[in-house]
């Protein structure tokens, strides 16, 4: 074939949170691993995240805590260890937006929420707080609900992506699919570049929605993928207090989720998710914005945002296919059909990225795929490095 052949332990394609976290963990374990990204690191699904590292309580009100609830319940503490530099991945330097996330109920749901949290063994994960401890947007004499503090935290996602990328500067490369290709040689996947061909012990696809085309390039149909669309609302305003909270409605998932961010000029932006974003995923943006205005007027009528600009962003949550497009409740790693050295992976939630990397490592060890190669990566130097994705609150407002 004329190209230099490089044998390497792991090739990762996809530079979102799943790929970056797994790259860091595997290299820390001694694997020779490299990551390739077509666009910017963290594009689409990762940069569109609200940055919440949660323990699953927000899904609990209708009995939605599943058999994997212990896994997700452990995530906030695991992330905090990494933020202190004590975990499998070093996140020191990553910006934490909030050490607290709040859950509030309207007066109509007050007794239901109180009885639920009183009846479950959620001590340490949920704490009812006094009015003096309420976040600023709920400190109104007109507020009649209840407020709980969750054992969750919120990270600045661009800072998270940058921190993970900075830990492995010599192992992350841009890939141009006009000049590169995934090929099958028999039952082995190979990444062919202009400079060389990479033959990995294991190929890991972590490209989110992009996994579909990568599987197709290897003539694989499994693992099958699903897309669950959502459309989130962004409002740039003049209200200065930060807010990170879920308002519970009649569904297991939050009626409305609000996270606070700052744009490049330090202007406050509320990023609105929850049922608002999923129930109206296909709605006209102007209609969704009007719906969001009504929600805020109904739930927080005393909050004056001042002069405000509104916009929306459509995102696809890419996940392993479930019956009836249900929300997967754990990270997923699965072998490609017809390819012996390739797996596809989806974390399903930002908070489960460490669980995905642990599952990758478990599967590798179970198959005796251990650190073996220490190749010279100099032939890859000319590929360049992908940039960090720009947050939507810096690009979508006119």
Q: Are 241 and 304 members of one domain?
A: yes
- Co-location of 245 and 204 in the same domain: no
Domain termination residue (choose one: 288, 317, 346):
317
Tell me the average pLDDT across 358-371.
97
Assess whether 136 and 246 both reside in one domain.
yes
Comparison of pLDDT for 349 and 344, the residue scoring more: 344
146 cis-preceded (ω within 30 degrees of 0): no
Spatial distance between the Cα atoms of 328 and 40, rounded to a whole number of angstroms: 26
Classify residue 38 as exposed, middle or buried by CB count within 10 Å of its CB (0-12, 13-18, 19+): middle
Q: Which CATH number fits the domain that encloses residue 305?
A: 3.30.9.10
pTM: 0.93
Residue 58 lies in a domain: no
Q: What is the pLDDT of residue 351?
A: 94
User: What pLDDT does 160 receive?
Assistant: 98
Model confidence at 119, pLDDT cuts 50, 70, 90, reads very low
Instruction: Encode 288-308: b = buried (16+ Cβ within 10 Å), e = exposed.
Output: bbebbeebbeebbeebebeeb
Total residue length of the chain: 398
The last residue of a domain, from among 317, 348, 381? 317
How does pLDDT run across 259-285, given as a tens digit for each residue? Answer: 999 999 999 999 999 999 999 899 999
Per-residue pLDDT tens digits for 157-172: 999 999 999 999 999 9
**Mean pLDDT score of the chain, rounded to an integer?**
91
Within a domain: 90: no
User: Does one domain contain both 215 and 233?
Assistant: no
Residues 149 and 168 in one domain: no
Same domain for 311 and 332, yes or no, is: no
Which of residues 254, 288, 317 is at a domain's end?
317
300, 211 contact by CB (below 8 A): no
Residue 51 in any domain: the answer is: no
Where residue 308 falls among pLDDT bands split at 50, 70, 90? very high
pLDDT of residue 2: 64
Which CATH number goes with the domain that contains 31? 3.50.50.60
Hey, what are 296's tokens? 């805020």
d(C-alpha 72, C-alpha 99), whole Å: 17
Domain that holds residue 212: 4-46+159-226+323-395
Find the angle CA(87)-CA(344)-CA(195) to the nearest 5 degrees: 95
What is the three-class DSSP state of 323? Answer: helix
Higher-confidence position of 109 and 226: 226
Query: Which of 373, 367, 37 lies closest to 177 in space, CA to CA?
Result: 37
> Of 330 and 108, which is predicted with more confidence?
330
Please state the φ and ψ torsions of residue 43, each to the nearest 5 degrees. -60, 155
Whether 36 and 175 share a structural domain: yes
* pLDDT value, residue 319: 85
Q: Where residue 64 falls among pLDDT bands split at 50, 70, 90?
A: very low
Alpha helices in the chain (DSSP H): 17-28, 69-73, 75-83, 110-119, 157-167, 211-217, 275-279, 285-299, 353-366, 392-395
Same domain, yes or no: 268 and 353 = no
pLDDT 10s digits, 228-264 = 899 999 999 999 999 999 998 877 788 999 999 999 9
| pLDDT surpassing 80 at residue 173 | yes
Residue 32 counted as domain residue: yes
Helix (H, G, I), strand (E, B) or coil at 377: coil
Is 26:214 a contact under the CB 8 Å cutoff? no
Query: CA-CA distance, 257 to 133, in Å (whole number)?
Result: 19
Query: Residue 351, SS3?
Result: helix
State the total domains in the chain.
Answer: 2
Residue 66 pLDDT exceeds 60? no
The pLDDT value given to residue 124: 56
> What is the predicted pLDDT for the residue at 56?
75
């Amino acid at each position: 074939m004329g190209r230099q052949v490089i044998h390497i332990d792991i090739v990762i394609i996809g530079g979102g949170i799943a790929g970056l976290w797994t790259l860091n963990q595997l290299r820390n374990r001694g694997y020779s691993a490299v990551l390739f990204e077509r666009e910017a690191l963290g594009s689409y699904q990762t940069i569109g995240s609200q940055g919440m590292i949660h323990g699953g309580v927000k899904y609990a009100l209708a009995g939605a805590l599943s058999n994997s609830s212990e896994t997700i319940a452990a995530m906030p503490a695991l992330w905090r260890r990494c933020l202190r530099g004590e975990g499998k991945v070093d996140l020191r330097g990553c910006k934490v937006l909030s050490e607290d996330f709040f859950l509030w109920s309207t007066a109509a749901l007050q007794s239901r929420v109180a009885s639920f949290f009183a009846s479950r063994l959620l001590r340490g994960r949920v704490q009812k707080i006094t009015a003096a401890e309420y976040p600023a947007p709920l400190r109104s004499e007109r507020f009649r609900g209840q407020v709980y503090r969750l054992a969750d935290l919120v990270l600045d996602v661009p800072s998270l992506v940058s921190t993970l990328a900075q830990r492995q500067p010599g192992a992350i490369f841009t890939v141009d699919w006009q000049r590169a290709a995934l090929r099958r040689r028999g039952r082995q996947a190979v990444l062919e570049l202009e400079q060389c061909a990479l033959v990995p012990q294991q190929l890991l696809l972590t490209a989110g929605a992009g996994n579909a085309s990568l599987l197709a390039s290897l003539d694989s149909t499994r693992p099958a993928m699903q897309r669950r669309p959502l459309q989130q609302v962004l409002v740039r305003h003049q209200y200065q207090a930060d807010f990170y909270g879920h308002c519970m409605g009649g569904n297991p998932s939050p009626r409305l989720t609000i996270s606070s961010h700052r744009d490049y000029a330090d202007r406050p932006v509320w990023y609105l998710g929850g049922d608002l974003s999923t129930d109206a995923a296909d709605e006209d943006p102007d209609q969704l914005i009007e719906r969001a205005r009504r929600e805020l007027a109904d739930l927080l009528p005393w909050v004056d945002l001042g002069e405000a600009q509104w916009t929306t962003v459509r995102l696809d949550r890419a996940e392993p296919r479930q019956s009836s497009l249900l929300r997967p409740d754990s990270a997923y790693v699965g072998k490609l059909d017809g390819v012996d050295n390739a797996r596809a992976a989806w974390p399903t939630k930002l908070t489960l990225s460490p669980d995905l990397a642990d599952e990758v490592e478990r599967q590798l060890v179970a198959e005796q795929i251990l650190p073996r190669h220490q190749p010279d990566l100099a032939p890859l130097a000319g590929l360049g490095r992908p940039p960090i994705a720009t947050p939507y609150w810096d690009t979508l407002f006119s």
